[in-house]
Amino acid sequence: WEGHAHLPTPSAWGLQSTWHVGAAWKFQGSFPPSPRNRYFLPKEHSRDYSAPVNFISAGLKKSAAEDVSDEDSDEDEKPVKQEEIPKEFVPKKLKTGGNFKPSQKGFVGGTKSFMDFGSWERHTKGIGQKLLQKMGYVPGRGLGKNAQGIINPIEAKQRKGKGAVGAYGSERTSQSLQDFPVVDSEEEAEEEFQKELSQWRKDPNGGKKKPKYSYKTVEELKAKGRINKQLSTPQKELSQVKVIDMTGREQKVYYSYSQISHKHNIPDDNPQQLLGKDSKPQGFALPELEHNLQLLIDITEQEIIQSDRQLQYERDMVVNLTHEIQKMSEILSHEETAISNLSKVLDMVEECERRMQPSCENPLTLDECAKIFETLQDKYYEEYRMSDRVDLAVAIVYPLMKDYFKNWDPLKDCTYGTEIIAKWKSLLENDQLLSHGGQDLSTDAFHRLMWEIWMPYVRNIVAQWQPRNCGSMVDFLDSWVHIIPVWILDNILDQLIFPKLQKEVENWNPLTDTVPIHSWIHPWLPLMQARLEPLYSPIRNKLANALQKWHPSDSSAKLILQPWKDVFTPGSWEAFMVKNIVPKLGMCLNELIINPHQQHMDAFYWVIDWEGMISVSSLVGLLEKHFFPKWLQVLCSWLSNSPNYEEITKWYLGWKSMFSDQVLAHPSIKDKFNEALDIMNRAVSSSVGGYMQPGARENIAYLTHTERRKDFQYEAMQERREAENMAQRGIGMAASSVPMNFKDLIQTKAEEHNIVFMPVIGKRHEGKQLYTFGRIVIYIDRGVVFVQGEKTWVPTSLQSLIDMAK
């Protein structure tokens, strides 16, 4: 079997085209019963061996397009019978050269209804349709999640001739335009291309080109003038540059770029030029006229531009004047309001002056005056702040304040006037805190009020005050400490209170005075704190002189010294104890006689009673030097005389119970008691001792074991406590070792050096909170400490601040 294959494309895509394959086929044997291998040939009576073999799709009803090849299709086709093949698809004859052209009228492309979609599956098992339905496909709708796919198959459009794609214009179908609407600008591009192409062609008429005229509107000139105005301000150094122009026949020199931009096309001196063979003479050449016309045009343009600039300037001036009018109207209204408020304030002040006259029937009281000042501060705050409050307060408030305090006794009624003075403080005091070193009373009415009116009463009462009656004076200052200025409080404590206390300490005699000194010195500690340091040295000297003839049997010395333990520094206290108390206690222990049969414990009790007053190391030194040598000697003598070991055990435990756990935990004390146990063990280990008293060795061994176990347990407990304390301290230090900010760092340093660091309530400087660091007033701004000087705030370092506070 030989023939030419004629393979069609699938009809499911709506395309009807034909493949022409010029290869020869040889068929041997029988074809397998598969649709892919079914080839149908004409019957024997109409067999034409010169015609090619046709392979026609079952759904093709019209002839294929002429000479259209599609080499990518190899779809399954339904076999048809020879009688059902249309006449258009029957090959007629074989053309020479391997080319043939079926006799057909042309390809007619069309769309099929979706009812025919997948119709070829009636010859198969229909697996494709089933898979699509499982995935949600609905017949008659497009593919995709939202059915966005096209419903109709892709249309084909027949090309007019054999040209390339796009040679005959757009080939888009109506369906593609409907599904994918895109603005087609190919026609515009073609027109532009033809226009550019015509520029390279020679004019067929051979005529001259028409002159082109350029027109400028007034708006374009205005826009050009605005741009030139921005660019017409060259830099100073560029405006004086020498420029050589070599663009013309002759070299020309300009002295600025602006001369080049403003030069005109002046006609040449020699307009007549030699004409060449091919050149034509100019029929109409008037360079002077052209120059004049161009000059008139330029002048007109400049006039238009200048007029536009002048108009814009006038408009801007109108806008500026409008804003000025609005601003001046606002200022005028503000001034009118200020005048009205000032007139009201003046009326209130004049009313106060009238009521302060002696002949007035309704005299002004201090409370009423405070209400008037509150009204001024609330309703007329700006005028109140701008006014001279010092002079106003001096004229109105000071006479009323003198009359208010004329019968006041601070020691009897310490809270008298605190409320009214606190109210006046908020009304008169400035926002900035004055320095206690250099006060300027002319700038703060409240400070002047307290210094001139309130302070004289305090001076008089302090001059009459007895320092040993400190309770009333301390209560008085505690009541006023948050009201009076800081520098006034410092003046009271430094200039009035401290000299009185210092003089009284010099007159104090601890041997004759019945009133202990701490009873009238210690109440001043919260107020004066470090100011009392100069008094401590004289007090220690007087106490040391009083203790020269003291004996430990006198317990009054402990009662006098005990309140000073937490007041003196640890170093000075320990030095005082070692110098004046420890030697007396050592002499008392030397006088102690240790007698197991008749023991007197008074001297031992006198020494042990000072355990909390002297340090543990000093007490242990006393015991090692003056007690344990005699005690061990008595033990050895007792063991050498056939003793009763039960009595020795009780004696040992009895002496050990006299000491506190803190003393027993000291290594030296442990060694002494362990030495006593070793002596007892050696005594019972000898044959004589063990023979004379059976069971003594076991009792002493048990005692030794018990004591050692107690020591071990106590040491383990101490180690565990220390470990817990270290862990808690480590957690606390880890949490607080790194300060969160500079204020926390200052607070930590203040705690380390025992300096009071606290905010001043209601006081600020430029919005920053004021603090007291000891006696110094500071504020913190962006990690810098500012200290209040005589006239201004001075930045300082943290170490300098600590030194100043100390």
Question: How far is Cα 401 from Cα 403, in angstroms, rounded to an integer?
Answer: 5
Is 735 part of a structural domain of the chain? no
Q: Quick check: 108 pLDDT over 50?
A: no
Is 277 part of a structural domain of the chain? no
Is 750 part of a structural domain of the chain? yes
Chain position carrying tokens 């019968």:
407
> Tens of pLDDT along 706-755?
777 766 666 667 667 777 777 776 655 544 555 567 888 888 888 888 88
Question: How far is Cα 663 from Cα 739, in angstroms, rounded to an integer?
Answer: 39
Residues 728-766 as b/e (b if ≥16 CB within 10 A, e otherwise) read eeeeeeeeeeeeeeebeebbebbeeeebebeebeebebe
Question: How far is Cα 385 from Cα 378, in angstroms, rounded to an integer?
Answer: 11
Q: Which range has the worst mean pLDDT, 59-73, 536-550, 760-774? A: 59-73
Q: Mind giving me the DSSP string for 275-338?
A: --SS----S---HHHHHHHHHHHHHHHHHHHHHHHHHHHHHHHHHHHHHHHHHHHHHHHHHHHH
Contacts of 569 (CB under 8 A, 6+ apart): none
Q: Quick check: 187 pLDDT over 90?
A: no
Q: Quick check: 328 pLDDT over 90?
A: yes
Question: How far is Cα 162 from Cα 158, in angstroms, rounded to an integer?
Answer: 11
State CA 571 to chain mean position distance: 47
Q: Count of domains in the chain?
A: 1
In this prediction, residue 754 carries a pLDDT of 84
> Tens of pLDDT along 442-500?
567 788 888 888 999 899 999 999 988 888 899 999 999 888 889 999 999 999 999 99
In this prediction, residue 87 carries a pLDDT of 41
Q: Mind giving me the DSSP string for 676-717?
A: HHHHHHHHHHSHHHHHHSTTHHHHHHHHHHHHHHHHHHHHHH
Indicate the DSSP class of residue 495: I
> Tens of pLDDT along 283-295?
667 888 888 988 9
Higher pLDDT, 67 or 240: 240
Question: How far is Cα 696 from Cα 298, in angstroms, rounded to an integer?
Answer: 140
Contact 11, 57 (CB under 8 A): yes
Question: How far is Cα 574 from Cα 579, in angstroms, rounded to an integer?
Answer: 9
3-state secondary structure of 87: helix
The segment with the largest mean pLDDT, out of 121-125, 434-438, 759-763, is 759-763
Strand partners, 19: 7
Contact 788, 796 (CB under 8 A): no
Q: Mind giving me the DSSP string for 499-520?
A: HHHHHHHHH--TTT-SS-THHH
Q: Which range has the worst mean pLDDT, 437-451, 457-471, 568-582, 593-607? A: 437-451
Question: How far is Cα 711 from Cα 703, in angstroms, rounded to an integer?
Answer: 12
Question: How far is Cα 288 from Cα 290, in angstroms, rounded to an integer?
Answer: 5
Question: How far is Cα 134 from Cα 197, in angstroms, rounded to an integer?
Answer: 59
> Tens of pLDDT along 508-555?
988 888 888 889 999 999 888 888 999 999 999 999 998 888 888 888
Mean pLDDT of 28-36: 43
Q: Quick check: 9 pLDDT over 50?
A: no
In this prediction, residue 44 carries a pLDDT of 45
Confidence category of residue 501, pLDDT binned at 50, 70, 90: very high
Is 757 part of a structural domain of the chain? yes
Long-range contacts of 655-659 (CB under 8 A, 24+ apart): 655/631, 658/601, 658/604, 658/608, 659/608
Contacts of 585 (CB under 8 A, 6+ apart): 552, 606, 607, 610, 614, 622
Confidence category of residue 126, pLDDT binned at 50, 70, 90: confident
Is 800 part of a structural domain of the chain? yes
Higher pLDDT, 685 or 481: 481
Domain boundaries, position 757: 742-804
CA torsion sign for 693, 699, 701, 704 is negative
CA torsion sign for 623, 624, 625, 626 is positive
> Tens of pLDDT along 779-788?
888 888 888 8
> Helix H segments across 211-286?
218-231, 257-261
Question: What are the tokens at 526?
Answer: 């919260």
Q: Quick check: 318 pLDDT over 90?
A: yes
The segment with the largest mean pLDDT, out of 126-135, 258-267, 491-500, 760-769, is 491-500
Mean pLDDT of 9-18: 39
> Tens of pLDDT along 85-96?
444 434 433 333
In this prediction, residue 498 carries a pLDDT of 92
Q: Quick check: 503 pLDDT over 80?
A: yes
Higher pLDDT, 58 or 155: 155
Higher pLDDT, 412 or 198: 412
In this prediction, residue 325 carries a pLDDT of 96
Q: Side-chain half-sphere of 276: how many Cα atoms within 13 Å?
A: 2
Is 404 part of a structural domain of the chain? no
Q: Quick check: 770 pLDDT over 80?
A: yes
Question: How far is Cα 748 from Cα 752, in angstroms, rounded to an integer?
Answer: 6
Q: What is the mean pLDDT of the chain?
A: 75
Mean pLDDT of 597-624: 89
Confidence category of residue 310, pLDDT binned at 50, 70, 90: very high
Is 769 part of a structural domain of the chain? yes
In this prediction, residue 694 carries a pLDDT of 55
Contact 746, 798 (CB under 8 A): yes
Percent pLDDT > 70 in the chain is: 70
Q: Quick check: 324 pLDDT over 90?
A: yes
Mean pLDDT of 658-668: 87
Q: How many residues does the chain have?
A: 806
Confidence category of residue 267, pLDDT binned at 50, 70, 90: very low
Question: How far is Cα 206 from Cα 194, in angstroms, rounded to an integer?
Answer: 20
Contact 436, 487 (CB under 8 A): yes
Q: Quick check: 224 pLDDT over 50?
A: yes
- Which among 124, 22, 13 is positioned nearest to 59, based on CA atoms? 13
Residues 401-429 as b/e (b if ≥16 CB within 10 A, e otherwise) read beebbeeeebeeebebbeebbebbbebbb
Contact 142, 149 (CB under 8 A): yes
The DSSP element (H or E) to which 724 belongs, if any, is: helix 696-736
Tell me the pTM: 0.48
Is 774 part of a structural domain of the chain? yes
Q: Quick check: 7 pLDDT over 70?
A: no
In this prediction, residue 800 carries a pLDDT of 84
> Tens of pLDDT along 370-410?
788 778 777 877 776 676 666 677 777 888 888 888 888 88
Q: Which range has the worst mean pLDDT, 42-51, 69-78, 177-186, 633-642? A: 69-78
3-state secondary structure of 793: strand
Q: Which range has the worst mean pLDDT, 39-43, 97-101, 112-116, 413-417? A: 97-101
